[in-house]
Structure 1
Amino acid sequence: MKKLLIVSLGIIVFILLSLPWVLILVGRNKLHDYDIPQREQLIPSSDSKKKVLALFPHPDDEVTVAGTLMRLKEDGHEVVLVCLTRGEKGKSSGIQDEQELARLRTSEMEESARLIGVDQLIISDYPDSGIEDLGMDSLKKVVLNLILEKQPDILISYDSNVGLYGHPDHRLTGKAIEKVFLKEKGKEGFSPDRLFQVTLCKKQVEVALKLSSGFQRNYPENPEMGLPQPDFSVRTQPYFDRILQVMQAHQTQQNVLKDLMPFHDKVPAWIYSRIFDREYFREVK
């Protein structure tokens, strides 16, 4: 009887210890395409030190590549983070005063940049949800001037098809950078020779369309108009605790960020970090 009790207890302990790892395995299979190569870093360690310009329209957009930027800094690369607007239209927190919201989101962006460890943060004053009003020609000039001023080797931004989940500011920013890069690459005085766009694999898009209200509202119905297929992913699990801190820095946008990483505040971090353990990229060539 005593032996049977010990065996039973052992089985129960084994099941309890195994359950989190089963959850991790199931989560990974639901969210990741294992045919897409995974890298330890965006830039091979054999490369010389580079200057990276990450350009996005809103405070909190950098969350999508925070782990990759942290790894770049750890490897000794220089990172310049650019935010085109102050996010005054992001009223999910209930704050209606746009001037106050812009002030708060600027402060949040500054804290996020500190947590990531970027070398320079640039926040411009273009209108939130008004990038389209600038016109593509003007937006391309803004992008080109930033590139000529900062002379980066590598660019990071959104894709030009969707802008991750369909926000017009995202898509237009990604399109402007892509157009400038493809037109100017190789010309004298134009320093970048690589452009990486943050994207998602097909499985992630399928899950996002079930769980994320932002994706449900804005993502194109035609699959051919959807996100570009990733070329690779970058492993970010070691930086997950700091990524959570970056997300928490954007206090006015917590409802929006729950769309990006659902249930992150309910699942233990050591489990969640092993499911959401990579960031996907497409390289523009």
Structure 2
Amino acid sequence: MARKTLLVGLAHPDDEVGAAGTICAQVARGDRVVVVWLTRGEMTEAFGPVSQAEVSRIREEHGRIAGEILGCETRFMDFADTFIESTAEAAHRVARLVAEVKPDAVLTWGDAWARGMRHPDHQASGRIFRDAITIARIAKAVQPQAPHREPAPVFTLRGSYSPLPAVVVDVEPHLDRIHELARFYFERIGFGNPEWIDTRLRAAAEPHGLRYAEVFDAWETRGGVVKTLLPASAEGLPGEPPHPSRPV
């Protein structure tokens, strides 16, 4: 079984709560999962009147512990909390990371309409990661890294009213880890009430005949119920033309 790499690109530490079961499922398959947060979530008021530098330090530690709970790699970039903008410069910065990690798929924020999911940092970070996948294919944009030209289909956290196919991950086998992560954040920043998490997972699962599920938008692959996002099949769907390895 070929080992796959899933890149999870998010805005703030604790965003990964919405994909915790999916991350655990991919890790349990024996795959590599790299969670990247663009900011340190330093604008939170959860710690009272302390400096942003101290908040950043605390939240870096949170990210490290979250990675240990989920069994994945974690990284931070140095974008500013609440100031993320989807620009060409931002996409090029993240493209160099994509070229380094060489993911087989990217899970990130998508378009959303509900409060919380439509946080401007969430929306901007999703666009940045999605643009970066394309920029990472361009050698001159990511040098000295080698370009990443293998398929890297996009999955996004699913918002209300999404017209895209839904890919449904059965996360019941990973409930203990999901709840452990939720309790960790709930005790420290007041987000991730385990009862709310449980209700959310059940509601997502019910239409698909499951008990607990996380649901994402499939941008380039088929929807349906799966155990893991990878391997992902685009069989029967229109693809993109091959990228030449050198000028022709």
Same fold at TM > 0.5 = yes
* 2:167 is the alignment partner of 1:232: yes
* 2:155 is the alignment partner of 1:196: yes
Of structures 1 and 2, the one scoring higher in RCO (CA 8 A, sep 6+) is: 1
Q: In structure 2, give the amino acid aligned to 1:189.
A: H
Offset of residue 198 of structure 1: 1.5
Name the structure 2 match of 1:180.
Answer: 132
Distance change in 2, residues 1:230/1:141 (3 Å): same
Name the structure 2 match of 1:144.
Answer: 95
Name the structure 2 match of 1:170.
Answer: 122
Describe the superposition over 1:29-79 as per-residue Cα deviations: whole angstroms up to 9, x where unpaired.
xxxxxxxxxxxxxxxxxx732111111111001111110010101111111
Name the structure 2 match of 1:79.
Answer: 33
- TM (normalized to structure 2)? 0.71
- Counterparts of residues 120-131 of structure 1 (less than 5 Å): 120-131=73-84
Offset of residue 245 of structure 1: 1.0
- Which SS does the other structure have where 2:188 is aligned? helix
Describe the superposition over 1:146-177 as per-residue Cα deviations: whole angstroms up to 9, x where unpaired.
11111111111110455962111110011122
Do the aligned partners of 1:87 and 1:102 also contact (CA within 8 Å) in 2? Answer: yes
Offset of residue 272 of structure 1: 8.2
The share of aligned pairs that are identical, in percent, is: 25
Distance between the aligned counterparts of 2:149 and 2:49, measured in 1?
A: 41
Structure 1 gaps, min length 5: 1-46, 203-225
Distance change in 2, residues 1:228/1:143 (3 Å): farther
Q: How many residues are matched? A: 204
Q: Aligned-pair RMSD on alpha carbons? A: 2.8
- Which SS does the other structure have where 1:257 is aligned? coil
Please say which of residues 154-163 and 241-250 is displaced more in the overlay. Answer: 154-163
Do the aligned partners of 2:183 and 2:192 also contact (CA within 8 Å) in 1? Answer: no
Do the aligned partners of 2:108 and 2:155 also contact (CA within 8 Å) in 1? Answer: yes
- Which SS does the other structure have where 2:155 is aligned? strand
Q: In structure 1, give the amino acid aligned to 2:182.
A: M
Distance between the aligned counterparts of 2:105 and 2:196, measured in 1?
A: 33
Do the aligned partners of 2:47 and 2:55 also contact (CA within 8 Å) in 1? Answer: no
Q: In structure 1, give the amino acid aligned to 2:42.
A: E
- Counterparts of residues 1-285 of structure 1 (less than 5 Å): 48-118=2-72, 120-132=73-85, 136-161=87-112, 165-181=117-133, 189-200=148-159, 202=160, 227-250=162-185, 251-254=187-190, 256-258=191-193, 263=196, 274=202, 277-285=212-220
- Which SS does the other structure have where 2:149 is aligned? coil
Q: In structure 2, give the amino acid aligned to 1:174.
A: G
- TM (normalized to structure 1)? 0.63
Describe the superposition over 1:194-218 as per-residue Cα deviations: whole angstroms up to 9, x where unpaired.
1111214x4xxxxxxxxxxxxxxxx
Offset of residue 275 of structure 1: 5.2
Distance change in 2, residues 1:246/1:67 (3 Å): same
Describe the superposition over 1:104-124 as per-residue Cα deviations: whole angstroms up to 9, x where unpaired.
111111111001001x21112
Distance change in 2, residues 1:89/1:177 (3 Å): same
- Which SS does the other structure have where 2:117 is aligned? helix
Normalized per residue, the structure richer in helix is: 1
Name the structure 2 match of 1:223.
Answer: none
- Which SS does the other structure have where 2:217 is aligned? strand
Do the aligned partners of 1:159 and 1:227 also contact (CA within 8 Å) in 2? Answer: no
Do the aligned partners of 2:92 and 2:135 also contact (CA within 8 Å) in 1? Answer: no
Name the structure 2 match of 1:23.
Answer: none
Do the aligned partners of 1:88 and 1:98 also contact (CA within 8 Å) in 2? Answer: yes
